[in-house]
Structure 1
């Protein structure tokens, strides 16, 4: 019974493989070209996170300082008309800090300090708010500042533009090839949209340390690309 089952499985695998090979080999005849297109835009959404932290003998003491820093930063954000939906805050993070070099073996696992931290994420639609928030965070004693991420709220629209450009590029290539070979192009018999950097919504700067923040930041351009493959029939 087992031998018969193995034979049936082997036969099924061979048939499946043969069908895949035949599918790859059967392609419409004609001129096949690949076209690429891209659009360069200005991002309109800016995302970054800030971590505020403090260390103290007790979690309550550290939490009080972090709460005060958080309140001060969020108050400034509200004064800049940054809405609550543009700000995300995480729960407190509590981490014991051990100093093994100064501890006796009897209390080896007794922390010398407690670190409390909280991460705040800003989702801005006005880039002019970026530098003031960073300056305030550094003044408060920020633990770290994440890399700045760029995003566009019109990704679908811009991707369609890139796709149109890719199709035009492919059409131009096909015409050049046909003219060189003295052929007449027919209709498109096959088209494939190739996953080539399809809406890559987030573009990231190199990681910024709080000690190297520029006094004035400027967002760069943002690229959305598309790629297609066309097969044209030939009419001689």
Structure 2
């Protein structure tokens, strides 16, 4: 049997009217579904926020005292293996503290008592096993206000990719179920959009900074990454 191939120009000419006709026809029926996928990963970063507050009669004295305390905290971080790139000053605040007394005429009189200086340091800990030890050192050396801890992942790309695959599979399963219930078949995919849902930080109560001098117990748990996809399928 001999097969004959149409010349390219002729094939295009034959296909063109069909394409034009398709453009004038109504769009094929379609179904839009949302799928969700979730994947988990053990965190490999601990993120600390450590604050040192010092108070004195003058702003200068309060700042000097704060500088000395924070310098000791930073030195302890470095001696524990924290690199300079993982230490960042998050803010310095200087504020007066007043004592208010009521006067006979109903007004209040403000008396300047002291100045407070608060220096906040953000710390990334890449060896999570050291988190409790580092917290203990920080408190011992002067961290006495605010603070917090959360756990994260430096590169969650592989985990997000796994969640994305699960989300697409979930969308396809939903579309198939709905199509079967309606007595039709799922056709080709027309459009896919996705949305990553960042995992909430796993916080640790800042009151842990008031713990005893023993190393603070810390559990990192795991982070959950969620992806939602919206898929448009053709129905046939």
Is this a same-fold pair by TM over 0.5? yes
Moved more, 163-172 or 136-145: 136-145
SS at match of 2:154: coil
Higher relative helix content: 1
The answer to whether the aligner puts 1:217 opposite 2:212 as a matched pair is: no
The answer to whether the 8 A contact 1:49-1:120 is kept is: yes
Q: Which structure has the greater CA radius of gyration?
A: 2
Give the deviation of 1:202 after TM superposition: 5.2
- In the alignment, is the contact (CA less than 8 A) between 1:159 and 1:199 conserved in 2? no
Name the SS for the 1:146 alignment partner. Answer: strand
- SS for the counterpart of 1:216 is coil
Deviations 1:177-208 (A, max 9, x none): 444555433212x324253xx14155142542
Could you tell me whether the CA contact under 8 Å between 1:155 and 1:199 is conserved in 2?
no
- Whether 1:160 and 2:151 are equivalent positions in the alignment is no
Q: Separation in 1 of the partners of 2:90 and 2:234?
A: 58
Q: Deviations over 1:11-68 (max 9, x none)?
A: xxxxxxxxxxxxxxx9851343321111111122221211111112222332232222
Alignment pair present for 1:42 and 2:30: no
SS at match of 1:153: coil
Verify: 1:203 aligned to 2:201, yes or no.
yes
Which residue of structure 1 lines up, in the alignment, with residue 76 of structure 2?
Answer: 76
Mean Cα displacement is larger for which, 226-235 or 174-183?
A: 174-183
Compare 117-126 and 87-96 and name the one that shifted more: 87-96
* Alpha-carbon offset, residue 130 of structure 1: 1.8
Q: CA deviation at 1:122?
A: 0.4
Counterpart CA distance in 2 for 1:182 and 1:167 is 22
Contact 2:52–2:66 at 8 Å: present in 1 too?
Answer: yes
Tell me whether 1:136 sits opposite 2:134 in the alignment: no
The answer (yes or no) to whether the contact 2:197–2:228 under 8 Å persists in 1 is no
Task: Flag the 1:163–1:92 CA change in 2: closer, same or farther, 3 A.
Answer: closer
2: CA distance between counterparts of 1:143 and 1:28?
66
> As a proportion of its length, which structure holds more strand?
2
Normalising by structure 1, what TM-score?
Answer: 0.73
Structure 1 CA distance for aligned equivalents of residues 233 and 73 of structure 2: 60
Aligned-partner Cα distance in 1 for 2:28–2:230: 12
- 2:89 match: 89
Provide TM-score, normalisation by structure 2: 0.73
Deviates further, 56-65 or 69-78: 56-65
- Give unmatched runs, 5+ long, in structure 1: 1-25
> What are the Cα deviations for residues 115-155 of structure 1, in whole angstroms up to 9, with x where unaligned?
12211110221212321222123223433243323322223
- The answer as to whether partners of 2:73 and 2:142 remain within 8 angstroms in 1 is no
